[in-house]
Copies of this chain bind each other. A is one copy, B any other.
Amino acid sequence: MKTLDLANLTIERAARALRDREVSPLELTDAYLDRIERLNPRVNAYLTVTAERARDDARRATAELAAGKVRGPLHGIPVAHKDLYETAGIRTTGGSKIHANHVPSADCTVARKLREAGTVLLGKLNTHEYAYGVTTNNPHYGPTRNPWDLERIPAGSSGGSGAAIAAGLATATTGSDTGGSIRMPASLCGVVGLKPTYGRVSKAGVLPLSYRFDHTGPITRTVMDAGLMFNAMAGYDPADPSSLRVPVEDVTAGIDTGIRGLRVGVPRGYFFDQLEDDVAAALEAAIAGLQRLGADIRDIEIPGVLEGVWGVFGFVHAEALEIHSQAIEHRLQDFGDDLRAILGSPGPDAATLMLGLRYCDALTVAMRTALEQVDVLITPTTPITAPRIGQDIVRCGDSEEPVLHAMIRCTAPFNATHLPALSVPCGFTPGGLPVGLQIAGRPFDEATVLRVGYAYEQATGWHLRTPVL
């Protein structure tokens, strides 16, 4: 174990150590459980640590690997799930008081697939209440803290998933993303988050925020790890009505073949407006870096982004009212302040909802048309770095705006349009806070998105930095 630095451990490195018998799954799991015990009280990434289940999983993996039965690249790898992911026999709170004692009888599809891939389940991760919100989580279980500065938020709603990776409390985690909730924590925590194309990864058994805009995906330390997790998570699931019955290729094949000649679109309008100075500087450096790697950088215009984001906001509100209608009627007082305020207000009317969908449709056409001219789009993941816990207003460029609005500004357009989008570390502010680069691509083309992220990551090495805890 001496040679394995948990604070910077990747699936790739762990798998090699397991294969070479440098460490056993049980030893690796115990090391994480020790680290969680030591650090989680400060970070508050885990709501539930499933130590017994983890050791059972690890013993099974140890025996299987010793017998030469290798399930694949995730065999023996310790993971943790956002606490929206239903897990058989393990409470799944959704970050709520209302589901505080909810113990599902079955795994959600992704938890089942990752179990079958041989992973070890360390526990369940903090989130905003029912994934609604991106600023300070959580009114019932306390805020998750950003490992780079414990007075700051990790963003949300998959804040526990992002913080757990940054703090070295799991090798890989899962998240969900309705307006950016995988990519925003990746950005603010200096790790990697992948929102796959809508319909690629099953949502069956994951507590919903919005059926139309929710996506499930991984949060990891590296781009290769995101690809390995995606490979295990993706695929048609009849139990998820939005799941698409399309083939899934191995997205790590060719991930290291570089980006020479690849057309990279930079949509400066909207996506590069009102950035924090350090974010703007990091992005310009990233663009120059991609160019040095051989990318063909092109300015590109995408109209109607703001309208599309507005459409997402309204529709998510209406869906939440329907999803929580029973609880709104009978247990409104059991919601936290933020959610109670949202769910206590009437949603948009039908005409407004339909108008919002048309805006999303128009943005989808604009984005897809742009992606006929370029292979990927790059933007900041978040226009800002981590705000302080409790901070509501942020200064962006020359104006102030609510943290919520600033935070989802660049990510939600890819929920509106269902396109795959990845956040990778893009350097640090002088104060040591991470910046995120977002790479988005064509429908079902996660492979190209990951290839760009991999090339950038390997060239910059930003993923090698870890917070001091």
The answer to whether A354 touches B322 (Cβ under 8 A) is: yes
Q: How far is the CA of A354 from the CA of B210 in the complex (A)?
A: 11
Q: How many monomers of this protein are in the complex?
A: 2
A364 surroundings in chain B (CB, below 8 A)? 241
Is A319 interfacial (CB-CB < 8 Å)? yes
Given A351-B322, A354-B321, A355-B322, residue A361 in contact with residue B245 (CB < 8 A): no
Which one of B241, B318, B445 lies within 8 Å of A350 (CB-CB)?
A: B318
Cβ–Cβ contact A245 & B321, under 8 A: no
Q: Is A460 an interface residue (CB 8 A)?
A: no
- The answer, yes or no, to whether A357 is at the interface (CB within 8 Å) is yes
Q: Is A246 an interface residue (CB 8 A)?
A: yes
Contacts A244-B244, A443-B245, A444-B245 given: A238-B369 contact, CB under 8 Å? yes
Return chain B residues, CB-CB under 8 Å to A369.
Answer: 238-239
Assess the A211–B365 pair: CB atoms within 8 A: no
- Chain A interface residues (CB < 8 Å from chain B): 211, 236, 238-242, 244-247, 318-319, 321-322, 325, 347-351, 353-355, 357-358, 360-362, 364-365, 368-369, 371-372, 442-445
Q: A245-B443, A350-B350 are in contact. List 7 more A-B contacts (CB 8 A).
A: A236-B443, A238-B371, A241-B364, A246-B444, A321-B350, A322-B354, A347-B351
Sample of 23 A–B contacts (CB below 8 Å): A211-B361, A238-B369, A238-B371, A239-B369, A241-B361, A241-B364, A241-B368, A242-B361, A244-B244, A244-B246, A245-B443, A245-B444, A246-B246, A246-B444, A318-B351, A318-B354, A321-B350, A322-B350, A322-B355, A322-B358, A347-B350, A349-B349, A350-B353
